[in-house]
Amino acid sequence: MLIWIGVAIAGGLIGLLFYDVLMDLAAEWWTQSEASYGILIPPFTFYVIYLQRRQIFSRAALPDLRGLSLIGLACCTFLTGRLSSEFFLTRVSFVVLLGGLVWTFWGVGRLRAMAFPLVLLSTMVPPPALIYNAAAAPLQLFASGVATDLAQRVGVSIYRDGNIIHLATTSLGVAEACSGLRSLSALMVAALLLGFLEQASFWGRVSVFILSIPLAIAINVFRVTGTAVLADYRPELALGYYHSFSGWLVFVLGFGMLWLMAKAVFRFTGPPS
């Protein structure tokens, strides 16, 4: 009985401490399209823990005071994020704190068993704005440049000025939303889940995760190129509903390619040791 009272008190204190942080994160999932994938991560994480429940609880619960070091790191990260108004640090400190609690009360064995769910849960936090902004501009220029070259090869009259693609009848701007960061984040998370569901080896999971990055960039270039070719034929096909639909269609295509690529990589790298 005293154990559950302690758990309730600790849970209440953590809820009070991170309430504003988690509510702000949920609001970003709901309002920012590039972070919307994060709303699916907590349910997926709970499902992964459910699938691994026997493996987790088969290990003896051995409380370990060394876990307090991880809890201390989480607190320092949280305070640093608060003092510097850095959302990423305050949000990721929540995941670090959960890891510290598992280590402290359940021991390092169960922490290792829950390593993947904790890593998966950390992907619910969007990358820092500094990294996002630094990556968006180069990806915009890369996508627009390669798309212009490919469209010219198929006979489209087109030239590029920065991230603006000029056609005979219209001009297209490759905005941040078209930089490919949305599909990049989503496919990286999908690569993690595929590695887990297929029970792949460590190197197989790492390989697929790394390969998801150029794949996401490639499918975004394909989307921009296709939009430019269609816009040269009928400009309205690059706007409104058609533009949004093409984004979903290309992402589904990219996920299918990731799945096929993962199957090949997992077969080559073999089963987990």
Confidence of residue 141 (pLDDT cuts 50, 70, 90): confident
The torsion defined by the Cα of 251, 43, 26 and 209, in degrees rounded to 10, comes to -40
For residue range 152-171, list pLDDT tens digits in order: 787 777 777 776 777 777 77
CB neighbour list of residue 68: distance below 8 Å, 6 or more residues apart: 100, 104
| Three-state secondary structure call for residue 74 | helix
How confident is the model at residue 90, as a pLDDT? Answer: 92
| Three-state secondary structure call for residue 134 | helix
Please say if the pLDDT value at position 239 is more than 80.
no
How confident is the model at residue 103, as a pLDDT? Answer: 92
How confident is the model at residue 76, as a pLDDT? Answer: 93
How confident is the model at residue 242, as a pLDDT? Answer: 64
How much of the chain exceeds pLDDT 90, in percent? 21
> Strands, E, within the chain: which ranges?
158-161, 164-167, 171-173
Among 66-80, 121-135, 203-217, the range scoring the smallest mean pLDDT is: 121-135
pTM: 0.81
For residue range 219-228, list pLDDT tens digits in order: 888 888 877 7
How confident is the model at residue 46, as a pLDDT? Answer: 92
